[in-house]
């Protein structure tokens, strides 16, 4: 379902990260681990089609992401890859429902309010669909970020430090929601984290830890 090969990323300061090859089957749930500066966020962005590699391949559902033209890649990502960021980055001038409608629009998917209500209900957030982001608590805003990532039924769900700004109660809820909702729709789930609360919720067999060659002394902090 997901495969990387000979993947590298070079930055303007001359730093190059070289990532180990990785293969993930459909429906599996993995943790992406590594110390600060090991490149977790960089790798997650490469997997999600957000950051173009210097070399190598990322294949999702048989499609080589970076062989696609930019506009085609954007459309493919919208339809097949859901991303939960550390901060939800919701558009403040739009309601919760409008933020999710925008995600459907970017993917070239027709307006589907029924699907939006379904996802919000699963996250216990349907009662907030008319609310604006500034009217939400931190935990509620993160749930909307999850809803946005799930609304187009992605084959691949990526989460970048999704619990980093949450208290224990909300962190536990987010972990369970990500795992349960990914499983219910057959999505492959990869969570980038250094949060011990997340590590405790997953089996060791499904953890991928970054140990890659340092091409220069400086590494991008993730």
142-175 pLDDT, tens digit per residue, is 999 999 999 999 999 999 988 887 888 888 888 8
**61-to-47, 77, 111, 212 alpha-carbon distances in Å:** 12, 11, 25, 25
Give yes or no for a contact between 58 and 7, defined as CB atoms under 8 angstroms apart.
Answer: yes
Domain extents in the chain? 2-89+153-214
Structure tokens at 200: 């405790």
- CATH superfamily for 2-89+153-214 is P-loop containing nucleotide triphosphate hydrolases (3.40.50.300)
Give yes or no for a contact between 94 and 60, defined as CB atoms under 8 angstroms apart.
Answer: no
Backbone region of residue 133 per phi and psi (left: phi > 0; alpha: psi in -120 to 50; beta: other values): alpha
Q: What is the mean pLDDT of each run of 10 residues along the chain (222 residues)?
A: 95 90 93 82 95 97 96 95 93 98 94 96 95 95 94 96 83 86 93 82 63 40 34
**Tokens 């997340």 map to which residue?**
198
Alpha carbons 65 and 198: distance in angstroms, whole number = 28
Beta bridge partners of 57: 5
* pTM (two decimals): 0.88
Structure tokens at 65: 């992401």
């Amino acid at each position: 379902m997901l495969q990387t090969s000979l993947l590298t990323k070079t930055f303007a300061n001359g730093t190059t990260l070289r990532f180990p090859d990785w293969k993930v089957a459909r429906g599996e749930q993995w943790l992406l681990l590594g110390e600060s500066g090991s490149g977790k966020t960089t790798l997650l962005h490469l997997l999600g089609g957000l950051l173009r590699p210097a070399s190598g391949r990322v294949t999702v559902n048989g499609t080589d992401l970076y062989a696609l033209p930019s506009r085609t890649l954007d459309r493919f990502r919208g339809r097949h890859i859901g991303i939960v960021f550390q901060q939800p980055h919701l558009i403040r001038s739009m309601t919760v429902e409008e933020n999710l409608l925008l995600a459907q629009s970017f993917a070239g998917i027709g307006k589907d309010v029924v699907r939006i209500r379904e996802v919000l209900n699963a996250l216990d957030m349907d009662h907030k669909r008319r609310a604006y982001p500034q009217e939400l608590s931190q935990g509620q805003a993160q749930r909307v970020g999850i809803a946005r990532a799930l609304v187009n039924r992605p084959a691949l769900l990526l989460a970048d430090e999704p619990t980093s700004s949450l208290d224990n109660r909300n962190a536990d809820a987010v972990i369970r929601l990500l795992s349960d909702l990914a499983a219910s729709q057959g999505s492959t789930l990869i969570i980038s984290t250094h949060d011990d609360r997340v590590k405790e919720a997953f089996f060791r067999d499904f953890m991928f830890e970054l140990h890659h060659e340092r091409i220069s002394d400086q590494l991008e902090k993730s």
